[in-house]
Structure 1
Amino acid sequence: MNIDYTVTALMFPAIPLIMGVYSNRFHSLSALIRELHDEHVYEKHVPPEWKKQFINLSGRITLLRWSIMFGAFGFLFNMLTVLGLYLNEVFIARLIFGSCCLSMMISIIFFIREIHVSTNALRLHMSDMDVRVD
């Protein structure tokens, strides 16, 4: 496979888009944690499933951190690919671009896992409601 600037340009729209999604997710998660913190510390309100929620949120933070980190590595590797091409080091640029793609795939896998954990958190949050849909 020949690699040129066009190949690396394919990643430039995808990486900022995915980082924006991760950033929004992080912002929502941090707002939720702050809300739960205020309820627990200032209002002395402890939900019945508080410990499970805390464990869930802690896991989500970890997964999101890894998602963001591998997304950032993907962006870095993409930029290094451009540098390798600029320096006419095509073989090295190929290896680095492969690392870019691999980093982005790992990032997405962590994000998929975070979505799964998030869905379980919503089920946990709804567990105290006894609603049946017929």
Structure 2
Amino acid sequence: MELQLSTPALLFSAITLMMLAFTNRFLAIASLIRGLHKKYLENPEENLLIDQIQNLKRRLSLIKWMQVCGMISFLLCVLCMFFIYIQAELAAATIFIMSMFTLLVSLGISLIEVLISTKALNLEIQDMEEAFNRRSGGGFWFKK
């Protein structure tokens, strides 16, 4: 199979959109961390805040690695195009495979981060359920 210049170029739009999504996730997490920091300073003993802060710290680290792998994938695509241009077929094919692999790693990390983010939302829901049950005397439960 001959690798054409348009093949790695097709990944440009996918990688760019993926990086935009990762950046949006990073900005959302940064906003959450700033809000939790303010709440934590007001009440440092609240266990829910401590759990959320640990969760966000882990998610922030995963987002960093998602972005790093995405950028490496993008750089490898550009490098692959260069090797196609100078007609170094074997090097181009090897670099293209490496680019696809780093893209796959980035997506895998993204999946893990999404799973962790749902855990954070469940902490919020659990806290609301407990608060509601305390106020209502335990007579009403949220549907599971």
User: One fold, TM greater than 0.5?
Assistant: yes
Task: Give me the identity figure in percent.
Answer: 30
Partner of 1:59: 58
How far residue 4 of structure 1 moved from its aligned partner, in angstroms, is 1.0
| 1:33-112 equivalence runs, <5 A | 33-41=33-41, 44-46=42-44, 47-112=46-111
Shift of residue 2, structure 1, vs aligned partner: 1.1
Deviations 1:1-44 (A, max 9, x none): 21011211210110110000000000000000011112222xx1
Aligned to 2:29: 29
Which runs of structure 1 show a deviation greater than 3 angstroms over 4 or more consecutive aligned residues? Answer: none
TM-score normalized with structure 2 length: 0.87
Q: Report the counterpart of residue 124 of structure 1 in structure 2.
A: 123
TM-score normalised per structure 1: 0.93
- Which structure is larger by alpha-carbon Rg, 1 or 2? 2
Aligned length: 132
CA distance in structure 2 between the partners assigned to 1:37 and 1:50 by the alignment = 9
Q: Deviations over 1:69-108 (max 9, x none)?
A: 0000000000000111112111100000000100000000
CA RMSD of aligned residues (A): 1.3
Unaligned runs of 5+ in 1: none
Unaligned runs of 5+ in 2: 130-140
Contact preservation (8 Å) 2:8, 2:80: yes
Listed one character per residue, the Cα deviations across residues 99-120 of structure 1 (whole Å, up to 9, x for unaligned) are: 0100000000000000000000
